[in-house]
Amino acid sequence: MAPINLEQLFEKTFPLANNTILTVTEVPDCEEQLLKLFERAMLRGFDTHAPLTQIQLPMDRFPDLGSKFWHVPIEDCGAAQVLRFFFETPQTPAH
């Protein structure tokens, strides 16, 4: 996925809900590109106060990845063969 496309998805996704799942249907072919997406998703989550809490991906395509990216758990997506980023916005006290 081109960087501009991912940024456009983030712009459209974050205002919708407190808990967000962003699904990328075209998973990068190489681990280097995948790690760049992880980094961008994590930084974008920090920027919008919606931390990245989980990543799902086709583990059979990336067997050398560990079970975590920094502190974010990585799990297998199963038969879906997609990349999913889970973000959570902390609850704010009512005014």
Rounded to whole angstroms, how far apart are CA atoms 33 and 16?
27
Picking from 32, 37, 43, 31, the residue whose alpha carbon sits closest to that of residue 55 is 37
Rounded to whole angstroms, how far apart are CA atoms 5 and 59?
24
Q: Report the relative pairing of strands 52-57 and 72-76 from DSSP bridges.
A: parallel
Q: What percent of the chain has pLDDT over 90?
A: 49
Overall average pLDDT of the 23-33 stretch:
91
Rounded to whole angstroms, how far apart are CA atoms 14 and 75?
22
Overall average pLDDT of the 15-36 stretch:
83
Rounded to whole angstroms, how far apart are CA atoms 91 and 49?
11
Residue 15 has pLDDT above 50, yes or no: no
